[in-house]
Amino acid sequence: MSQIDLPPGFDFQLAGKEVLEIEREGLAQLDQYINADFSKACESMFYCQGKVVVMGMGKSGHIGKKMAATFASTGTPAFFVHPGEASHGDLGMVTAQDIVIAISNSGESNEILALIPVLKRLQVPLICMTSRPESAMARAADIHLCVKVPKEACPLGLAPTSSTTATLVMGDALAVALLKARGFTAEDFALSHPGGALGRKLLLRVNDIMHTGDEIPRVSKDATLRDALLEITRKNLGMTVICDDLMKIEGIFTDGDLRRVFDMGVDLHKLRIVDVMTRGGVRIRPGTLAVEALNLMQSRHITSVLVADGDQLLGVVHMHDLLRAGVV
């Protein structure tokens, strides 16, 4: 029966730190199991023509779901199948082109052992992750990955704690080793995360959000400073491009430049914009990733960049555009 009253002087912090220490010791010993069997497992998954199917019961199942999700998001197609459901039809998801990773701390999971004869009949390669190389699952496996830990962090030695952590880390080691072997890139990663902030940062390009056509603030080099200020106000981007009718860029004039002109004490109505503009302007190409545009703005301490092909103006991107797109 669990206690209702908290024991006098009980230290929750000490109890928590003891768990961390035990689990650290378990992970330190996991290094010895990154061995030839680990390499075989990685190679078999690397060359797999189908998918990696992960199975596990109970807490091992929870770890297996995370493992499959990590594989899938890092370039190794994978999914989780519950062993109990597999015995009632879901095994039909598994094909001869797939590889199965079966997880069980004891290596004696009845639900998984019941599936092994069928997997053997289908000639599906079987990788088992257990803490017991002598277990039934380990002996039946084509490749066995040991995830043995000295002890569980649970003082009763019953609740899976250190063992599930070790299994999770072994799964991460497999996924990351495969990621590196495939040359998987950040853009590849974003393709499986298109809906989140990460996808927006890694997939969105400046031509997707830039201002074009009449939205571009622009004046000719014959315009007065007053004309330029009116254009800046109308287009509300804090700048204007100075270009000809064919959109060939001459320069740029910004709010910051205006403050500098004020200090000169000149007549705003008579001063020509060509006399005070910044020639050229910072430019990027239309296919540039939006996050690269952000990095450029931050490094140059500016709030907008020109999108151009050489001297040909194509558009303008402002910091606010990146904010609205969720890139910042």
Q: Show Cβ contacts of residue 259 under 8 Å, excluding neighbours closer than 6 positions.
A: none
Assess if residue 70 is contained within a domain: yes
Q: How many domains does the chain have?
A: 2
Q: Residues 161-193: pLDDT tens digits?
A: 999 999 999 999 999 999 999 998 777 676 666
Angle at 278 between CA 277 and CA 283, to 5 degrees: 130
Q: What is the pLDDT of residue 202?
A: 66
**CATH of residue 305:** 3.10.580.10
| Domain final residue, candidates 126, 150, 184 | 184
Mark whether 17 and 130 lie in a shared domain. Answer: yes
Assess if residue 84 is contained within a domain: yes
Mark whether 231 and 169 lie in a shared domain. Answer: no
What share of the chain has pLDDT > 90, as a percent? 75
Mark whether 104 and 21 lie in a shared domain. Answer: yes
Mark whether 113 and 58 lie in a shared domain. Answer: yes
Residue 314 structural domain: 206-324
Mean pLDDT to the nearest integer, 60-78: 95
Assess if residue 299 is contained within a domain: yes
Assess if residue 196 is contained within a domain: no
Mark whether 154 and 30 lie in a shared domain. Answer: yes
Assess if residue 251 is contained within a domain: yes
Of residues 118 and 270, the one with the higher pLDDT is 118
Q: Show Cβ contacts of residue 189 under 8 Å, excluding neighbours closer than 6 positions.
A: 73, 74, 198, 202
**CATH of residue 136:** 3.40.50.10490
Assess if residue 220 is contained within a domain: yes
| Domain final residue, candidates 150, 184, 218 | 184
Q: Residues 263-285: pLDDT tens digits?
A: 776 776 778 899 899 998 999 99
Mark whether 98 and 144 lie in a shared domain. Answer: yes
Assess if residue 213 is contained within a domain: yes
Mark whether 267 and 176 lie in a shared domain. Answer: no
Q: What is the pLDDT of residue 271?
A: 87
Mean pLDDT to the nearest integer, 7-29: 94
Q: Show Cβ contacts of residue 121 under 8 Å, excluding neighbours closer than 6 positions.
A: none
Mean pLDDT to the nearest integer, 78-85: 96
Mark whether 26 and 121 lie in a shared domain. Answer: yes
Mark whether 210 and 284 lie in a shared domain. Answer: yes
Contact 302, 195 (CB under 8 A): no
Q: Residues 297-325: pLDDT tens digits?
A: 999 999 999 999 999 999 999 999 988 88
Mark whether 160 and 56 lie in a shared domain. Answer: yes
Q: What is the pLDDT of residue 138?
A: 97
Secondary structure of the chain as H, E, C letters = CCCCCCCCCCCHHHHHHHHHHHHHHHHHHHHHHCCHHHHHHHHHHHCCCCCEEEEECHHHHHHHHHHHHHHHHCCCCEEECCHHHHCCCHHHHCCCCCEEEEECCCCCCHHHHCCHHHHHHCCCCEEEEECCCCCHHHHHCCEEEECCCCCCCCCCCCCCCHHHHHHHHHHHHHHHHHHHHHCCCHHHHHHCCCCCHHHHHHHCEHHHHCECHHHCCEECCCCEHHHHHHHHHHHCCCEEEEECCCCEEEEEEEHHHHHHHHCCCCCCCCCEHHHCCEECCCEECCCCEHHHHHHHHHHHCCCEEEEEECCEEEEEEEHHHHHHCCCC
Assess if residue 281 is contained within a domain: yes
| Domain final residue, candidates 136, 153, 184 | 184
Mark whether 233 and 107 lie in a shared domain. Answer: no
What does the alpha-carbon distance between residue 227 and residue 220 come to, in Å, rounded to a whole number? 10
Instruction: Give the pLDDT band of residue 251 (cuts 50, 70, 90).
Output: very high
Mark whether 244 and 101 lie in a shared domain. Answer: no
Residue 299 backbone phi and psi in degrees, to 5? -70, -30
